[in-house]
Amino acid sequence: MKKGLKRREFIKKTAIALPLLSPAGIMLTDLVRTSCAWAGTGEVSGYNPLDHYYGMGIHIDRCIGCGRCAEGCKKENLVPREPFFFRTWVERYTIFSNREETEVDSPNGGINGFPELKTQQNILRAFFVPKLCNHCDNPPCVQVCPVGATFKTQDGVILVDNEYCVGCRYCIQACPYGARFLNPLTATADKCTFCYHRLVRGLRPVCVEVCPTQARVFGEIGTRSSPLVRFRRMNKISVLKSDLNTEPKVYYANLDGEVR
Buried b (16+ CB within 10 A) or exposed e, 163-175: eebeeeebbbebb
Query: Least distance from C-beta 11 to another protein, angstroms?
Result: 6
Tell me which long-range contacts 19-26 makes (C-beta under 8 A, separation of at least 24): none
Query: Least distance from C-beta 189 to another protein, angstroms?
Result: 8
Judged by CB, which is closer to another protein: 109, or 219?
A: 109
230 binds another protein (CB under 8 A): no
The torsion region of residue 63 among left (phi > 0), alpha (psi -120 to 50) and beta comes to beta
Task: Indicate which single residue of 221, 237, 239, 244 sits in contact with another protein (rule: CB under 8 A).
Answer: 244
Query: Least distance from C-beta 54 to another protein, angstroms?
Result: 14
List % helix, strand, coil for the chain (3-state, nearest 5).
30, 20, 50
Judge contact between 224 and 242, C-beta under 8 A: no
Q: Of 76, 57, 30, nearest to 206 (Cα)?
A: 76
Helix axes 25-37, 2-21, angle to 10 degrees: 160
Task: Indicate which single residue of 52, 131, 135, 232 sits in contact with another protein (rule: CB under 8 A).
Answer: 131
Classify strands 250-253 and 54-59 as parallel, antiparallel or unpaired.
parallel
Task: Indicate which single residue of 67, 156, 219, 227 sits in contact with another protein (rule: CB under 8 A).
Answer: 67
Judged by CB, which is closer to another protein: 18, or 234?
A: 18
How far is 96 from 94, CA to CA, in rounded Å?
6
Q: To which H or E segment does residue 144 belong?
A: helix 140-144
Mark 23-62 with x for binding to another protein (rule: CB under 8 A) and - for no binding: xx-xxx--x---xx-xxx-x-x--x-x-----------xx
234 binds another protein (CB under 8 A): no
2 binds another protein (CB under 8 A): no
13 binds another protein (CB under 8 A): no
Task: Indicate which single residue of 6, 20, 100, 123 sits in contact with another protein (rule: CB under 8 A).
Answer: 123
216 binds another protein (CB under 8 A): no
Scan residues 151-210 and list those touching another protein (CB under 8 A).
151-154, 159, 161-170, 172-182, 184-188, 193, 195-198, 200-201, 203-204, 206, 209-210
